[in-house]
């Protein structure tokens, strides 16, 4: 076992204490992450040692003198990198959740090294020759379907990442990938800086008019954390800004909060992301040219369900006109209400959520403040567990005395309700803090597999809820509850995995398919079973009244114009700016000009403006791929009709098919084939249009 030495320890002749990141995870079920033992100074030596070990493993496979076979190539490949996976998992958690103090500098140093390491493996000519020999050889036909799929995925991934390029192109590709890794890290750290370091302080109580008491309490707690006690702080995160824009009666402060939020990463100074974006776009375009492709979008979509940018654009533009038309109706309703109240204003972006809520109340006798008292964070968590039990036969048991990286985290064991068999472990990190990415996401700490025994998965959900007063329940919005179910859908996808090889496990599927299971689970929030059992008033304990449930259902398609345009404008921008290739593009000017050309309503901005578009500029993952949410939404909407056409949301036979063909199979079969096995046909866009209340195309 590698044991790093400090200079002082080495000089004294005494070994340094063991690096906890290099130790096997201890505890039940194959071990759990040693979060309580990790120090920031552990990361660099651990990553360097893990990368060195990984290269030794790969070199041993590549230089095996025996003829390449599945057994002597792919089995050891699937076993390799275990140490780097463990260290990299915890390094990634610190990157997204604890990025403060000394860590940002270490991240800046190590991300390019990790990119270079990945390229060393991809560009190992002897290794790729073995993979190619098996992929194109006679043994391929003798393998079972899962093995064939593994070989194909490896081969496609290696080719996509440059294994078949000339030596000169490989060298340049490695340089580009390291430069991009540095730029991605800087982009995200700049954004984290604006989200943590920029906030709005409210000095006078009268400026809190209209805000729910739960928000006021959380703002007071935030003020204490920012060392301005006796005031109220509105954090620069979506979970704080959206409710403020919805309820604050102070229009000037709404404008101030709105501009603070949409300016993240665009403020003058060292945290400005404009030049980072320009450099990222240039390097991505050059990389695509190395592969003989016209743009980064063409390169990225090779491995996706959509296959090419034209298919993705076709879907988005099919929905765009109906969404814009609906926005015009929504704005007209809001403007009429403002005029009726004598406001003498023209609806601006910082007015949209405020007047949207007023219109909802007028049209449907419904506002969010009627709903939130029934949506307690812990009760919605219990609701997720209950749905998982009904659809997936899972049981969740709270674990105490398990190491976590934040004091408010929770850890739960997941078992099969019938057999009691261990399934996996679920971590939940619910609250916002400095150094943590905004938004919500799922992590897979360990993949389920059976290559070396029965290895269970470890997953997490992460959110940014704002704490209220100590001892009082955290009340969340309907959108927050939906997001919780969405991210839990990703977790269930990981927990349900039942495959042999870790590369094909759980959520390791194309990005335009991975959002399908998560978006599908959103539907269960509004089921009567969930609302009656878990939507309990935080003071009376009584369930949400049927009258209120009926109002929620009646208003289900309300504001879909805003929601669709806000998202879709971001997805269209992402695709179009990457289709510009190597042109010299100013990201802000392109945003303005392109959105004007497609009729973007002036009252709405992109959900993620360029300088804060973490999905596409902090990694390659969703670049030229933000369309994935819409692509998956089509699949999700059509899939849910399988339940409604049968016995309802909890129909056992449909749920069995869902588990069998979607949630358990990982990437062992082509996603399109998996959907057809579940649904009996390919997905159709009709269900999505109906779900959003848009005219259905003929």
Packing angle of the helix pair 560-579, 309-340 (nearest 10 deg) = 140
Task: Report the alpha-carbon distance of residue 282 to residue 293 in Å, rounded.
Answer: 14
Question: Within a 10 A sphere around the Cβ of 125, how many other Cβ atoms?
Answer: 11
Question: Within a 10 A sphere around the Cβ of 499, how many other Cβ atoms?
Answer: 23
CA atoms within 13 A on the CB side of 564: 29
Task: Report the alpha-carbon distance of residue 561 to residue 692 in Å, rounded.
Answer: 8
CB 279 within 8 A of CB 572: no
Nearest residue to 358 via CA among 134, 644, 628, 347? 347
Q: In what order do the strands lie in the sheet with 441-446?
A: 394-399, 410-416, 422-431, 457-465, 441-446
Output DSSP code: residue 85: H
Output DSSP code: residue 610: G
> Which helix (H) or strand (E) is 344 found in, with range?
none
Burial class (CB in 10 A: 0-12, 13-18, 19+), 207: middle
* Phi, psi (rounded to 5 degrees) for 506: 55, -120
Q: Is the dihedral of CA 549, 553, 558, 563 positive or negative?
A: positive
Question: What would the DSSP string read from start to end of 1-20?
Answer: ------HHHHHHT-PPPPPG
Beta strands in 174-331 (DSSP E): 199-202, 232-235
Nearest residue to 602 via CA among 316, 201, 324? 324
CA atoms within 13 A on the CB side of 110: 25
Q: Is 57 known to be catalytic?
A: no
Task: Report the alpha-carbon distance of residue 3 to residue 507 in Å, rounded.
Answer: 34
Burial class (CB in 10 A: 0-12, 13-18, 19+), 546: exposed
The catalytic residue among 132, 195, 357, 487 is: 487
Nearest residue to 488 via CA among 663, 607, 644? 663
The region that residue 605 occupies, defined by phi over 0 for left and psi between -120 and 50 for alpha, beta otherwise, is beta
* Long-range CB contacts (within 8 A, 24+) of 385-391: 386/529, 386/530, 386/533, 386/534, 387/485, 387/521, 387/524, 387/530, 388/488, 388/492, 389/417, 390/529, 390/650, 390/655, 391/524, 391/650, 391/655, 391/658, 391/659
* Phi, psi (rounded to 5 degrees) for 172: -70, -40
Task: Report the alpha-carbon distance of residue 223 to residue 326 in Å, rounded.
Answer: 39
| DSSP reduced 3-state for 295 | coil
- Tell me the C-alpha to C-alpha distance, in Å, between residue 537 and each of 87, 368, 467, 532, 540: 43, 14, 18, 11, 5
Strand partners, 429: 462
Burial class (CB in 10 A: 0-12, 13-18, 19+), 311: middle
Give the catalytic positions in this structure.
487
């Amino acid at each position: 076992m590698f044991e790093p030495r400090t200079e002082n320890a080495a000089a004294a002749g005494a070994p340094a204490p063991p690096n906890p990141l290099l130790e096997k995870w201890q505890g039940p079920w194959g071990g759990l992450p040693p979060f309580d033992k990790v120090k920031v100074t552990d990361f660099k030596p651990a990553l360097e040692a893990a990368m060195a070990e990984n290269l030794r493993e790969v070199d041993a496979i590549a230089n095996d003198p025996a003829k390449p076979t599945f057994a002597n190539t792919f089995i050891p490949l699937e076993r390799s990198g275990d140490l780097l996976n463990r260290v990299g998992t915890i390094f990634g958690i610190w990157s997204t959740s604890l990025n403060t103090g000394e860590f940002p500098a270490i991240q800046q140093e190590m991300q390019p090294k990790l990119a270079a390491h990945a390229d060393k493996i991809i560009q190992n000519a002897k290794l790729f020759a073995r993979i190619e020999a098996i992929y194109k050889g006679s043994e391929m036909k003798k393998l079972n379907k899962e093995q064939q799929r593994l070989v194909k995925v490896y081969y496609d991934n290696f080719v996509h990442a440059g294994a078949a390029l000339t030596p000169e192109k490989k060298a340049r590709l490695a340089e580009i990938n390291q430069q991009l890794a540095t730029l991605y890290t800087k982009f995200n750290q700049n954004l984290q800086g604006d989200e943590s370091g920029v906030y709005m302080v409210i000095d006078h109580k009268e400026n809190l008019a209209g805000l729910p008491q739960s928000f006021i309490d959380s703002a007071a707690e935030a003020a204490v954390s920012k060392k301005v006690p006796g005031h109220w702080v509105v954090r620069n995160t979506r979970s704080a800004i959206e409710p403020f824009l919805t309820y604050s009666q102070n229009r000037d402060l709404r404008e101030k909060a709105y501009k603070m939020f949409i300016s993240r990463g665009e403020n003058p100074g060292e945290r400005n992301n404009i030049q980072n974006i320009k450099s990222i776009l240039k390097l991505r375009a050059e990389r695509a040219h190395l592969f003989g492709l016209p743009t980064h979008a063409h390169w990225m979509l090779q491995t996706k369900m959509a296959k090419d940018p034209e298919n993705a654009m076709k879907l988005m533009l099919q929905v765009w006109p109906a969404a814009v038309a609906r926005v015009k109706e929504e704005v007209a309703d809001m403007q009429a209400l403002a005029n009726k109240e004598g406001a003498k204003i023209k609806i601006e972006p910082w007015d949209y959520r405020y007047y949207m809520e007023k219109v909802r109340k007028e049209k449907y006798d419904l506002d969010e403040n009627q709903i939130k008292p029934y949506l307690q964070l812990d009760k919605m968590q219990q609701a997720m567990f209950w749905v998982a039990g009904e659809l997936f036969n899972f049981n969740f048991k709270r674990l105490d005395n398990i190491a976590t990286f934040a004091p408010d985290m929770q850890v739960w064991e997941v078992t099969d309700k019938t057999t009691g068999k261990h399934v996996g472990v679920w971590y939940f990190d619910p609250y916002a803090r400095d150094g943590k990415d905004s938004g919500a996401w799922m992590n897979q700490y360990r993949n389920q597999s059976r290559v070396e025994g029965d290895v269970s998965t470890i997953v997490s959900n992460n959110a940014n809820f704002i704490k209220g007063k100590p001892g009082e329940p955290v009340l969340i919005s309907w959108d927050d509850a939906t997001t919780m179910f969405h991210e839990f859908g990703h977790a269930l996808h990981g927990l349900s995995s039942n495959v042999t090889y870790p590369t094909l496990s759980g959520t390791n599927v194309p990005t335009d398919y991975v959002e399908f299971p998560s978006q599908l689970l959103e539907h269960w929030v509004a089921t009567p079973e969930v609302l009656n059992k878990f939507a309990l008033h935080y003071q009376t304990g009584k369930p949400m009244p049927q009258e209120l449930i009926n109002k929620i259902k009646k208003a289900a398609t309300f504001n879909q114009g805003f929601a669709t345009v806000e998202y879709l404008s971001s997805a269209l921008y992402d695709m179009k700016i990457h289709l510009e290739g190597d042109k010299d593009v100013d990201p802000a000017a392109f945003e303005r000009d392109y959105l004007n050309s497609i009729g973007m309503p002036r009252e709405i901005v992109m959900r993620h403006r360029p300088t804060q578009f973490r999905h596409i500029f902090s990694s390659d993952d969703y670049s030229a791929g933000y369309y994935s949410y819409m692509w998956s939404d089509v699949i999700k909407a059509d899939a849910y009709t399988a339940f409604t056409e049968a016995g309802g949301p909890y129909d056992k036979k449909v749920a069995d098919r869902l588990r069998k063909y979607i949630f358990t199979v990982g990437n062992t079969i082509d996603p399109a084939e998996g959907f057809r096995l579940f649904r009996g046909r390919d997905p159709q866009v009709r269900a999505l249009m109906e779900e959003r209340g848009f005219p259905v195309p003929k």
